[in-house]
Amino acid sequence: MIQLKTIFSIALRAIKANKMRSVLTSLGIIIGVAAVIVMLSIGHGAQISIKQDMQSIGSNIMIIRSGVATSSGARGGHGSQPTMKKSDGDAIQQRIAKIRLAAPVLEETTQIVYGNANWSTGVTGTDIRYFQIKEWNLAYGRYFNASDIKNATKNAILGQTVVNELFGDVDPLGRTIRIKGIPFQVIGVLEERGQSTMGMDQDDVVFIPITTAQKKVMGIQFPDQVKMIMLQAIDAQSTYTSQEEIRELLRQRHNLGTNKEDDFVIRNLTQMMEMMENSTKVMTILLGSIAGISLLVGGIGIMNIMLVSVTERTREIGIRMAIGAKAWDIRLQFLTEAMVLSLLGGLIGIVIGLFAVSLVSAFSTFKAVPTLMYILLPFSFSGIVGLFFGLYPAYKASLLNPINALRYE
C-alpha cells in the first residue's frame, strides 16, 4: 500500500497543478464554514446578552402590577387602576414561604435639576429590598435605611448616567438636587450597568424612599398606593409554583368575590427570559443549519471536480495500476485529495469567518461571540463533507480497467 505521506504529497501536487480550479472548488466550503461561524457566533452573543439582562434584573423575579381601569367602555393599560399597596407586598413576603423579598415600586418620569443643569429621567420610589432583588451594588455612599422609610426623608440615590449629566466630574455625594422643585440630598451612587439588550439605559434613573414618593412627590390617590410590587422567589421553580398562592392571598386582601376578575396582574420575568433564551437557541440552530447548506453545496462542487479529475487522469491511474497499485490505493488517493481540498477550504473559511465576526461586532448592534466549539464544528463538518462527496469519484477511479486506462487519450 502506498504510504500516507506519499498520498498526501501526490494530493498536494495535484491541487497545486490547478490552483485556480482548486480555489473555486473549495469556495463553497470556504463560504459555508465562514457563514456557520458567523451565524453561530451571533446567536451565542444574543444568548450572552439575554443572560446579562437576566443578571441585571436579578434572579427569580416576579412583578405584580395594578389592574386595568375601565371608564365609559374605554380600558386603560395595566397599572391604570390603583389597587396595589405596599402592605400587599409586605403580606406576600411574610405569608408566602417561597417568596424571599417583596419591594414596593412607584415610578414617574420628571425633570431633575442641579444648579444650572437639568435632566429628564425616571424617578423610582422604593426601599432597600429593590436593590437586594436586583443585586445592584453601590459605587459609593449608602442605601435607604429604616429611618428614611419611616420619616419619608428627602434623600436620593443616583444612577451613573444621571451623575454624568448633572455633575460631570463633581462628586455628587452630599449635594442637593431638585425633583419637582423639592430639594433632595444625594446619599449614594449606584454601580454602572450599561444598556440592556433592548437598548434601555439602566443607569438613567433616580431612586427615592417609597414613603417620600407617596407623600411628597408623586401625588398618589390612596394611602400606601404603589404602581407595582417586585418579588424575588427562593429559586426559579418557585416563581411558577407560588403564583397561585400569591393570587389567592391578593384576592383575599382586595375582597374580590368569586365572580370578580383579578384587579392585579402577575408577570413572571424568569419565565419570559427563559422563553427568550430558548427562542434564541432555536434561532441559532436554524441560522447555523441554513448556513450549513453552503457546506453541502461545496461538497457537491468537490465531487463534480473530482469526477472531472478522474477523467483527466485516467492514463495516470492506469500506469499506477500497471506498476502494482491496488484499487484501495487509488481510492485512498482520490479520497485524500477531496479531503485536503475540503479541509484547506475549512481553514480559509475559519480565517474569513473570524474576520467577519470582528466586523459584525465592530460595526453593528449585534454582539457576535465565537467559541472554540463553533469553530471546530464547521471545520470538522467540512472534513466529513469532503470524505462523503469524495467517495463516489474515488470508487469510480478504482474500478477503471488498467488496460483500457493505459489506452485512454
Provide the residue range defining the domain that includes 30.
4-53+275-407
What are 131's three cell numbers? 436593590
- Do 289 and 247 share a structural domain? no
Model confidence pLDDT, tens digit, residues 64-81: 988 764 444 444 444 456
pLDDT digits (tens, 9 = 90+) for 99-114: 999 999 999 999 999 9
**Residue 172 in domain:** yes
Q: Which residue has the higher pLDDT, 132 or 47?
A: 132
Q: Which of 222, 240, 262 is the last residue of a domain?
A: 262
Tens of pLDDT, residue by residue over 100-153, are: 999 999 999 999 999 899 999 999 999 999 999 988 999 999 999 999 999 999
All three cell numbers of 344: 484547506
Whether 206 is covered by a domain: the verdict is: yes
% of the chain with per-residue pLDDT over 70 = 78
pLDDT in tens, 244-273: 999 999 999 988 888 888 888 888 876 666
Does residue 88 lie in a domain region? Answer: yes
Judge whether 197 lies within some domain.
Answer: yes
Q: How confident is the model at residue 26 (pLDDT cuts 50, 70, 90)?
A: confident
Domain shared by 186 and 320, yes or no: no
Q: Are 390 and 299 in contact (CB under 8 A)?
A: no
What single-letter DSSP state applies at residue 83? -
Range 215-223, long-range pairs (CB < 8 A, 24+ positions): 215/152, 216/152, 216/154, 216/182, 217/108, 217/123, 217/125, 217/179, 217/180, 217/182, 218/106, 218/108, 218/123, 218/125, 220/82, 220/106, 221/82, 222/82, 222/85
Q: Is residue 33 part of a domain?
A: yes
Please report which confidence band the pLDDT of residue 389 belongs to, taking 50, 70 and 90 as the band edges: confident
DSSP SS3 for 231: strand
